[in-house]
């Protein structure tokens, strides 16, 4: 089956098993490095390089240095017991000893042979080269010195030397099969290296400058393919949609607002209404910092739908948030005669049936709910707008299930916290983006401090002070690693609650946990929002969306355990009212260095956009804002922190290419490469 003589049928897409020296075991080891095909080997780039270009004469060896040398073997002595094997070498002027702990060197070395060496100089009864890598010289230039040597991610099953040889052999035989798919015009305009040249350069760089040109070309490839793919998906996803235009109720609502819109809210609403007026379905992302007033923008959007006689859905990730949004919408929309319903998983059968009947009959104009809104059996009479709040908590399929409830409704997804621009472009590059980069006026900046566990006395004093001033407090209990361990989580909240109740007997405290039945959760939240309780001891269920402006103190226990986005979300629960707010990060006993860094970052940065950038730098794209599920940021070369400029260029060129040629007819090679690399990930089948 693995007949290596049938080379004509073996191509870049063939299994690594076709390569000489790759058997089942090695193929498995390669698979663990995500290397399955011959092409994968060509794209399996070094982790780092060693510059071994300059040779050191044997009379210039200094202890501690890594050196490259050429020498002739004068004599050899075998390893005896604990004594290593050694050789005396000469370059004609100077003799030096090399020692090896590998007892088999005498299989390769004989007196009189010329060798290339790379190793560390040490002083041990004289100067010696310790355990050097060596290569017997032939009429070919040496591999291990005189060049920049690639160092690959190696494993025990695949040592460095093996990988180097495997990559070299593969480059020699197959690099010529690489076809440059990048439009010629772009290559020429930017003076890029061609694909084969760039790949060879990455494995065997000539110098730093040439290497950089090669890696930038390959990074551009990845970003350009992705941008083209995303833009292609956008144009193919744009379906005919109902034109939604704000009318009487929208105007009445806006006129009755107790405060003026922020400039950013104005802009965002204009952009959204502009989209919905058209007959192409809107697909827009509303980005805004915590507390920037996204709900109000959503509300304006919803009114444009109901004014046009269509239904709107607002989907949120938690029951508490659904309840809160429902109350807000109900309070604002009921006076206008608009009926709002709340659908969560915990509705009783009878209530649910009643609600769904009304929804189907079109008597309910707005449906607010959790994941329950895209469940089977939920039928709208004419869904014209789907809004998804805290959209990163929902998967693509879940969002699509909601959208499928209407005939191509307009779609608005909202973020919980800002996402760095490079990530927005690469993960949501097929969406239009509106940004709320302005907080409502009059907000007093939140003060953030960090306290150690032994400073609890001070903290309790702060709490009593706030309570005396009629203000309220959130206390967030430490995160339990395994969220499946619901009971452990619950017990940690109850013990925290009991301890604090004991310490603060004169403060009215309640606790809140994700596992409470929804009625109980709502009751607790209602009492807190009404100011009947002063302090809420809770898990991260209050993380998103909760809006109680009178709460001015947020205590986060063991803060180092939380991610930056989550800390920022939690902190965003305060600072919503007129009084100055304080966020206290309690440092846990076992805070990791990364946890420390996050706490430091929180103390330093207040604005979500800068925090998001910092998060991207600290953790990489995969971990930020749940983008991992998209799989589109798994680049081999490109780096979303460093390659901002290249990304912008790729975006610009992708737009230009598709403007001139919307189906990529003139670039069949590029189109094929796009489908091959991203067709599945981006669901591009049939789009071009």
Which residues contribute to the site for ligand ADP (CB under 6 A)?
Answer: 259, 261-262, 265, 288, 290-296, 440, 547, 549, 576
Cβ proximity to ligand ADP, 232 vs 611, nearer residue:
611
From the list Mg ion, ligand ADP, none, pick the one residue 183 interacts with, judged by a Cβ distance below 5 to 8 Å according to partner type.
none
In SS3 terms, 339-363 reads as CEEEECCCCCHHHHHHHHHHHHCCC
Q: What minimum distance in Å lies between the beta carbon of 231 and ligand ADP?
A: 28
Give the distance from CA 357 to its chain's centroid. 41
Is the separation of the CB atoms in 150 and 49 below 8 Å? yes
CB of 262 to ligand ADP, least distance (A): 5
Judged by beta carbon distances under 5 to 8 A according to partner kind, the member of ligand ADP, Mg ion, none in contact with residue 259 is ligand ADP
Q: For Mg ion, give the closer residue by CB, 284 or 294.
A: 294
Under a CB-based contact definition with an 8 Å cutoff, are residues 341 and 372 in contact? no
Give the full edge-to-edge strand order of the sheet including 366-369: 340-343, 366-369, 311-315, 383-388, 410-414, 283-288, 432-436
Nearer to ligand ADP, 2 or 259 (CB): 259
Which helix H or strand E contains 127, and what residues bound it? strand 127-136
Three-state DSSP at 555 gives strand
3-state SS assignment for residue 52: strand
288 binds Mg ion (CB under 5 A): no
Helices (H) and strands (E) in the chain, counts: 21, 20
Q: Which of 294, 371 has the CB closer to Mg ion?
A: 294
Alpha carbon separation from 68 to 132, 152, 645 (Å, rounded): 9, 20, 38
**Binding-site partner at residue 549 among ligand ADP, Mg ion, none, CB < 5 to 8 Å by type:** ligand ADP
Question: Can you tell me the distance from the alpha carbon of 314 to that of 321, in angstroms, rounded to the nearest whole number?
Answer: 11
Instruction: Return the number of the residue (443 or 677) whose C-beta is nearest ligand ADP.
Output: 443
H-assigned helices in 113-206: 160-174, 184-189, 195-203
Q: Which does 440 bind (CB under 5 to 8 A by kind): ligand ADP, Mg ion, none?
A: ligand ADP
Tell me how far CA of residue 7 lies from CA of 3, 177, 180, 199, 392, in angstroms. Answer: 9, 12, 22, 22, 48
Binding partner at 146 among Mg ion, ligand ADP, none, C-beta below 5 to 8 Å by kind: none
> In the complex, what is the shortest distance from the CB of residue 535 to ligand ADP, in angstroms, rounded to a whole number?
20
CA triple 67-71-72, angle to 5 deg: 155
Best CA proximity match to 628, nearest among 331, 422, 427, 453: 427
Instruction: Report the nearest approach of ligand ADP to the CB of residue 640 (Å).
Output: 25
For residue 530, which phi and psi values (nearest 5 degrees)?
-85, -5
Residue 265 Cβ, how far from Mg ion at the closest point, in Å?
13
Report in angstroms how near the CB of residue 626 gets to ligand ADP at its nearest: 18
Look-up: residue for tokens 């070395």? Answer: 109
291 binds, among Mg ion, ligand ADP, none (CB under 5 to 8 A by kind): ligand ADP
User: Binders of Mg ion among 549-588, rule CB under 5 A?
Assistant: none
Taking the complex as a whole, the smallest distance from the CB of residue 291 to ligand ADP amounts, in Å, to 5
Residue 210: C-alpha distances to residues 143, 195, 207, 649 (Å): 20, 13, 5, 20
Q: Which does 197 bind (CB under 5 to 8 A by kind): Mg ion, ligand ADP, none?
A: none
**Distance of alpha carbon 427 from alpha carbon 623, whole angstroms:** 13
Of 329 and 356, which CB lies nearer to ligand ADP in the complex structure? 329
| Cα–Cα separations (whole angstroms), residue 22 to 7, 19, 116, 172, 494 | 15, 6, 27, 16, 58
- Smallest gap from residue 194 Cβ to ligand ADP (A): 48
Least distance from C-beta 294 to ligand ADP, angstroms? Answer: 3
- Please, are residues 57 and 91 in contact by the beta-carbon 8 Å criterion? yes
Residue 576 binds which entry of ligand ADP, Mg ion, none, CB below 5-8 Å type-dependent: ligand ADP
| Residue 247's binding partner out of Mg ion, ligand ADP, none, with CB under 5 to 8 Å set by partner kind | none
Q: Residue count at the site for Mg ion (CB under 5 A)?
A: 2
- Name which position in 84, 132, 384, 545 contacts Mg ion (CB under 5 A): 545
DSSP state of 443: P
Distance in angstroms (rounded) separating the CA atoms of residues 426 and 681: 13
288 binds, among Mg ion, ligand ADP, none (CB under 5 to 8 A by kind): ligand ADP
Q: Which residue is nearest to Mg ion (CB)?
A: 545
* Complex with ligand ADP: residue 331 or 596, whichever CB lies closer: 331
Cα dihedral sign for 176, 181, 187, 192? negative
> For residues 342 and 369, is the Cβ–Cβ distance under 8 A?
yes
Taking CA atoms, 235 is separated from 125, 671, 679, in Å, by 74, 15, 15
Q: Which is nearer to ligand ADP, 402 or 544 (CB)?
A: 544
Smallest distance from ligand ADP to CB 51, Å: 51
Pairing of strands 85-90, 66-77: antiparallel
Among 37-45, 357-365, 543-551, 634-642, which window interacts with Mg ion (CB under 5 A)? 543-551
Residue 577 touches which of ligand ADP, Mg ion, none (Cβ within 5-8 Å per kind)? none
293 binds, among ligand ADP, Mg ion, none (CB under 5 to 8 A by kind): ligand ADP
Closest contact distance (angstroms) between CB of 552 and ligand ADP is: 14
Q: Closest distance between Mg ion and the C-beta of residue 344, in Å? A: 17
Can you give the binding site for Mg ion, defined by CB under 5 A? 294, 545
């Amino acid at each position: 089956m693995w007949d290596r003589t049938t080379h004509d049928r073996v191509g870049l897409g063939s299994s690594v098993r076709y390569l000489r020296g790759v058997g089942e075991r090695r193929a498995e080891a390669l698979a663990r490095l995500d290397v399955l095909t011959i092409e994968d080997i060509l794209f399996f780039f070094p982790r780092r390089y060693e510059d071994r270009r300059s040779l050191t004469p044997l009379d210039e060896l200094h202890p501690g240095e890594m050196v490259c040398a050429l020498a002739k073997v004068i004599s050899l002595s075998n390893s005896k017991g604990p004594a290593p094997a050694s050789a005396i070498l000469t370059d004609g002027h100077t003799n030096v000893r090399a020692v090896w702990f590998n007892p088999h060197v005498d299989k390769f070395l004989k007196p009189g042979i010329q060798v290339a060496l790379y190793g560390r100089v040490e002083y041990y009864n004289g100067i010696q080269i310790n355990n050097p890598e060596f290569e017997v010289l032939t009429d070919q230039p040496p591999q291990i010195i005189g060049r920049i040597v690639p160092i690959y991610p190696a494993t025990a099953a695949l040592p460095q030397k093996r990988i180097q040889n495997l990559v070299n052999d593969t480059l020699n035989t197959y690099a010529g099969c690489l076809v440059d798919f990048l439009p010629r015009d772009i290559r020429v305009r930017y003076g890029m290296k061609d694909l084969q040249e760039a790949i060879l350069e990455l494995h065997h760089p000539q110098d730093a400058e040439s290497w950089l040109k090669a890696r930038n070309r390959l990074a551009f490839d990845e970003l350009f393919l992705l941008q083209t793919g995303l833009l292609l998906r956008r144009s193919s996803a744009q379906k005919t949609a109902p034109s939604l235009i704000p009318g009487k109720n929208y105007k009445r609502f806006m006129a009755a607002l107790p405060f003026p819109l922020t400039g950013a809210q104005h802009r965002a609403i204009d952009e959204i209404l502009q989209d919905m007026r058209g007959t192409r379905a809107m697909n827009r992302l509303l980005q805004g910092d915590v507390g920037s007033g996204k709900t109000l923008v959503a509300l304006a959007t919803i009114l444009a739908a109901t004014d046009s006689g269509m239904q709107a859905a607002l989907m949120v990730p938690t029951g508490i948030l659904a309840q809160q949004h429902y109350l807000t919408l109900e309070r604002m929309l009921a006076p206008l005669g608009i009926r709002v319903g709340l659908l969560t998983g915990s509705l009783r059968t009878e209530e649910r049936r009643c609600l769904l009947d009304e929804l189907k009959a079109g008597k309910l104009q707005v449906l607010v709910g959790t994941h329950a809104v895209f469940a089977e059996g939920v039928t709208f009479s004419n869904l014209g707008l789907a809004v998804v709040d805290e959209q990163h908590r929902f998967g693509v399929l879940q969002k699509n299930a909601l959208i499928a409830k209407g005939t191509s409704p307009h779609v608005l997804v909202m973020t919980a916290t800002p996402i760095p621009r490079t990530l927005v472009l690469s993960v949501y590059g097929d969406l239009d983006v509106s940004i709320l980069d302005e907080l409502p006026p009059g907000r007093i900046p939140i003060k953030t401090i960090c306290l150690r566990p032994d400073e609890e006395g001070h903290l309790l004093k702060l709490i009593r002070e706030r309570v005396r001033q009629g203000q309220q407090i959130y206390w967030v209990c430490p995160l339990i690693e395994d969220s499946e361990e619901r009971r452990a989580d619950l017990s940690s909240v109850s013990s925290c609650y009991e301890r604090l109740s004991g310490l603060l007997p004169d403060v009215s405290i309640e606790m809140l946990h994700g596992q409470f039945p929804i009625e109980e959760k709502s009751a607790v939240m209602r009492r807190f929002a009404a100011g009947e309780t002063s302090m809420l001891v809770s898990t991260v269920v209050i993380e998103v969306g909760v809006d109680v402006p009178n709460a001015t103190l947020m205590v986060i226990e063991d803060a180092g355990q939380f991610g930056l986005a989550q800390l920022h979300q939690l902190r965003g629960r305060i600072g919503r009212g007129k009084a100055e707010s304080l966020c206290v990060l309690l440092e846990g006993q076992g805070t990791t260095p990364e946890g420390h860094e996050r706490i430091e970052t929180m103390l330093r940065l207040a604005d979500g956009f800068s925090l998001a950038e910092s998060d991207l730098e600290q953790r990489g794209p995969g971990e930020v804002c749940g983008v991992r599920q998209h799989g589109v940021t798994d680049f081999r070369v490109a780096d979303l922190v460093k390659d901002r400029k290249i990304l912008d260029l790729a975006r610009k060129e992708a737009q230009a290419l598709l403007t001139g040629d919307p189906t990529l007819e003139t670039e069949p090679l590029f189109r094929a490469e796009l489908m091959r690399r991203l067709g599945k990930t981006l669901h591009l089948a049939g789009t071009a």
